[in-house]
Amino acid sequence: MRFTRRLFMRVAAMCGVIPMLGPLAKWEIAAVATAQSTPAPTAQIPHYLSPLDLIEDLAQRASSGNADAVLAMTDAALNCSIFADSAHSIRDRVYRAEIAFRNGLQKSILEIRLVKAINEVASLAFAPEALKTSEDQVHMFRVLLNTTMPHFIGISNEMSPAEVVFVTGFLTQQKLRDPGFKLDSGKVAAGIEQQKKISAGTLKAVHKIQSNFVLRVISPEMEEVQNALYEQLPHEWSLATILVHLFLDRAGLRR
């Protein structure tokens, strides 16, 4: 696999050690992956229209700062992105960074820093240019997601660690399926208007935000990347897991 060989040589030369990357999961927007998730606190779980609704509900519960609630929220957020099958070290790091953030021990992360981290690691991994992003794209993506997940996704230029990882993983999923994925002000405005109608009861909630994300036949180039991530992310010492930790370093998540 060309992508994996080039990635191996780049990371080996840079780090002086081999693998430490974990599984970035295959993604189905209609279902939450359960492979390595930690179940949310018991009690009767309501029916959710989408994984995004589940994350929003868990984010509201986590607002109390309860450690179990924060863990359930971060697990659900990872499960709804390319990080669904990621190694324990990644999941644990995101959870600990989120707890530290809520206790004032971890700084918020600016959009500009996230964009820089994504683009630098994409270059390091010889990833397709389409996987890179911009401040405008990240911000519009967050504004659109905020209509469904206001307690988890903000609209300022600052983010929590869990939000950073979710936005990165969810945006990357869109790009893997549609390399030309773009958001313009018109599409964002339409998404916000749609959510207002849902809230007002004039539009069935089943149409929610999913209609703004279109699944397409994956290109061979993107399929190669997706397969490499899917195969490697579950393993602690894989190249993919090493790169994810490098990304988290550059994004500003504490170890």
For residues 78-99, average pLDDT:
96
CA-to-CA dists, residue 199 to 148, 154, 178, 215, angstroms: 10, 18, 29, 25
Q: How far apart are CA 149 and CA 48, in angstroms?
A: 13
Task: Answer whether residue 53 shows pLDDT above 80.
Answer: yes
Report the range out of 32-46, 89-103, 213-227 with the highest average pLDDT. 89-103
Which pLDDT score, from 0 to 100, does residue 184 have? 66
Q: How far apart are CA 210 and CA 53, in angstroms?
A: 11
- Average pLDDT, whole number, for the chain? 80
* Angle at CA of residue 219, ends 217 and 223, nearest 5°: 100
Q: How far apart are CA 36 and CA 86, in angstroms?
A: 8
- Helix (H) or strand (E) holding 109, with range, is strand 109-110
Beta strands in 113-218 (DSSP E): 158-159
Task: Answer whether residue 237 shows pLDDT above 90.
Answer: yes
More confident residue, 204 or 55: 55
Confidence of residue 128 (pLDDT cuts 50, 70, 90): very high
The answer to whether 72 and 40 have CB atoms below 8 angstroms apart is yes
- For 40-49, the pLDDT digits (tens) are 454 455 666 7
DSSP secondary structure, 155-175, as one string: SSSEE-HHHHHHHHHHHHHHH
For residues 5-19, average pLDDT:
43
Q: pTM for this one?
A: 0.75
Q: How far apart are CA 84 and CA 33, in angstroms?
A: 6
For residues 41-58, average pLDDT:
76
Which pLDDT score, from 0 to 100, does residue 178 have? 86
The answer to whether 170 and 210 have CB atoms below 8 angstroms apart is no
- For 188-230, the pLDDT digits (tens) are 677 667 666 665 655 554 434 444 444 456 788 899 999 999 9
Confidence of residue 179 (pLDDT cuts 50, 70, 90): confident
- Helix (H) or strand (E) holding 110, with range, is strand 109-110
Which pLDDT score, from 0 to 100, does residue 177 have? 86
With H, G, I as helix, E, B as strand and everything else as coil, classify residue 238: strand
For residues 138-154, average pLDDT:
94
